[in-house]
Structure 1
Amino acid sequence: MGMEIERRFLVTADGWRGQGETRRLRQGFMCVEPERTVRVRVIGDQAWLTLKSKISFVSRYEFEYPVPLADAETMLDVMCALKIEKNRTRIERDGRVWEVDEFFGDNSGLVLAEIELPDEDTPFDRPDWLGAEVTRDPRYTNAHLAGHAYAGWSAEERARILD
């Protein structure tokens, strides 16, 4: 059974730039509900269909399957009303992998970092470019951002971190 345990943070400094490999991602959502999401993701010439189901704010079941690129492109065009684009930079640091997502379009200006962990309570060192943790704030999930773009948030909404 697939399990994803990750923590998410705002990125408040540019110290991550120039580290790791950066790739462009396009993803669309077929189902966005509080307890589950279904998405299709394209990176370069590869594509995946992913199903997620919430266990806690930090953990969720995750099942991911490769799909033909042409099928994924059709799914994005025909089946996904909610879409996002971003660059993802994978950075290895202290034996862990950080994924820094820099969003485009209506989510431009938002940069988030995620770290996947083997357990919810696993300690890790925080890079100095991290800001507030937003793991428990559902507004910062990709599924939410696809339908509620960061550009539409007020200054008060951006400053308020739900915990």
Structure 2
Amino acid sequence: MIPASHQANDFIQKNAVTSGVINAIINGVIGWLMFRGKETIPLTVDTISAHEKTVFSTGVMTAFMLSLILGTIAFFTFGKKAKDFSVPFPELLNRPFLFFGVRTILFYSLFAFGTVTLFALFLQKFLGTIPVTPLVGAIILGIIAGIASWFINAAVMKAMLRHE
């Protein structure tokens, strides 16, 4: 595997971090607006069929949906921008959205979904139900969204420069 140029790598890292910070703030505010009317909100609960809103039930879907949306945006914007960079194999940027892009985005989106789900599962298993204030819940939701946004942007852009 030939590494991406420094210019492309810097662009990937800058965009991924910027996306992560912006989405952490936006989703933290959205979390605050969702949770603010409650005295406490649980991080997780012990049953999958519970209809109670938790921080991680919101965070899991946020991570998955953000990954799908931002992965698609990253695929199209990076494909155009990277043509200006000196990349080892520029023909890799011309791969079609169907099936390469969809497969790549779905793979990393499901990875983000599974990672947040497993974290919540282990948190519940070993620590039980932890009630938090709406502010703490909003901060945790923002962190989940920020990490998911950073991850999907970096992963999709790097995947576009790799041979299959």
Which structure has the higher relative contact order (CA within 8 Å, separation 6+)? 2
Tell me the TM-score normalized by structure 1: 0.26
Higher strand content, 1 or 2: 1
Higher helix content, 1 or 2: 2
Tell me the TM-score normalized by structure 2: 0.26
